A and B are shown apart, each in its own frame.
Chain A
Amino acid sequence: MTDLAKTPGQDPVAPLLEVEGVRKAYGDRVVLDDVWLTVQPHDVICLIGSSGSGKSTLLRCLDLLEPIDDGVIRFRGREISDPLVDPREVRRHIGMVFQAYNLFPHLSVLDNCTLAPRRVHGLGRAEAEDRARDLLTTFGLEEHIDKHPDRLSGGQQQRVALVRALCTRPSLLLLDEITAALDPELVGEVLTIVRRLAEEGTTMVLATHEMGFAREVATAVCFLHQGRILERGTPEQIFTEPREERTRTFLRRVL
């Protein structure tokens, strides 16, 4: 897997996602500035950097939750930053998990997981529920299937949120600091799932503060600083011999 990250340019497989010169500003504040990123199938890209460096905004832009101010985003070879593209059509194939879980409190765990498959992807109730049950069981949530999200611990809720995203069988998974709101002891149970997804070859872009985890699962690590990807490399390279001084400063602070 690490080989993929080392030689993305020569990879024969077409890239799943291409970000070219993306810019995003809120008024005068430039949040993303000329961001370039290529994601190949089965890549696990970890975005690291201090808060406010643009990690979350980048993920939100990729899911078309925020309009970009310049540049091009291509998904499966097609430009999705085109105003004529229907964002819902794009989001059908992209899963997103948020820092604050964002489960629907009025729906049971099972209904949370079957909502999009049934309403958006046209699955029948039985099929959608089978799929959700399978995934929930795989991730150790079988006893919570009929509960409402508020009854669950933070770690369990975040695992449900992951299952909810997976139930639509997305070809790209975006994870926005999904362990940042969890107690340290609950972080592990969520990361175990992500690790497993990485092993299964799920393509993921994730913003994270968990450096040890990034080092372990990432095929490539990107260091963001003031809205730019300052450095991209394999985990070994970024964590042992970063090229940029700012990366070094950042890693000294967090490791």
Chain B
Amino acid sequence: MSDATRAPEGGWTPSARELERRRVRRRQRTRSLLVASTAVVVVLGGLAAVVLTSPGWPRFQETFLDLDAAKESFPAIRDGFWLNVKLFMICEVFILVLGLLVALARSSRTPLLTPLRLLAVVYVDLFRGVPTILLVLMLGFGMPALRLQGLPTSGFFWAGVALVLSYGAYVGEVFRAGIDSVHPSQVASAEALALSRAQTMRHVVVPQAVRRVAPPLLNDFISLQKDTALVSVVAVFESVFAARDYAAYNFNYTSYVVVSLFFIALTIPLARFTDWLGRRALRRERAGAR
């Protein structure tokens, strides 16, 4: 066979056919780029034209995009937003701890821990079912009203507790899904090394589970960042409360847009980080698998 034996050649120069193919591919790429750009300009330009020429646009601009109102409402919203950030940062830590504990309790098999397991199940069922705003109202107004000795009476504190309880149930389920997703063979090989069940969890299962659920966890935290706005219902003077205050006095809703921008500025970096983390995890797990 002539096709089997060819003298090895040192350097390689692309054949005429390959060069032609490259030209075709380049043309295809140029064409897709052109189509994409045209589509973007036509669709987005068209949408902008429709909005800007609509009869309601000037009134909308006055009510929602008033620069003076934005300037006026800005300082109070900025100060209030610091409260949102603080609430988010503190709650996040407690939610992670609570969530992991709940997940561990639910996956425990020790007979002695059965009551804890039952408690965890009831907790998750109850607190995932109750709307978060209801929890904030109940705890934020209710707990101070009880006048319990030694417990704080601030709405801020109890609203924070409400958020922790609500999100703890969600995050607990996310952790549990992660723990369940670790393959049984991992547990078997840990047990084969004579690790105890607790050690298996601590050193083998949970580390893998946490890595796997990081993206959905961050998703929940983006949601938490927004839900810190709920504490405004118990008269905590955070950013949404400040914006509502301004809107109610001035009959102008620009302050709502301002506070939205604050939240967006906070959530977008975290959302991008989540995406990046997910992609990186995928690249690692799929490395070499084609």
Contacts and interface: CB of A to CB of B under 8 A. Distances in A.
B14 to A, nearest CB: 6
Contacts of A230: 4-5
Nearest to A100: B289
Contact of A34 (B9, B18, B24): B9
A72 B17 contact: yes
A83 B1 CA distance: 30
Contact of A229 (B3, B8, B14, B21): B3
Interface string A10-27: 000000000001010000
Given A70-B12, A230-B4, A232-B3, A82 B21 contact: yes
Given A37-B3, A232-B1, A69 B9 contact: no
A83 B21 contact: yes
Interface string B1-31: 1011110110010110110010011001000
Interface residues of A, number: 24
A36 B24 contact: no
Contact of A69 (B3, B4, B5, B18): B18
A38 interface: yes
A231 interface: yes
- The interface residues of chain A, by DSSP majority, are classed as strand
A233 B18 contact: no
Interface in A61-102: 69-72, 81-84
Contacts of A38: 3
A84 B15 CA distance: 18
Contact of A70 (B1, B15, B24): B15
Interface of B: 1, 3-6, 8-9, 12, 14-15, 17-18, 21, 24-25, 28
Interface of A: 8, 21, 23, 30, 33-34, 36-38, 69-72, 81-84, 222, 228-233
Q: Which 6 A-B pairs have the closest CB atoms?
A: A36-B3, A232-B4, A70-B18, A232-B1, A83-B24, A83-B25
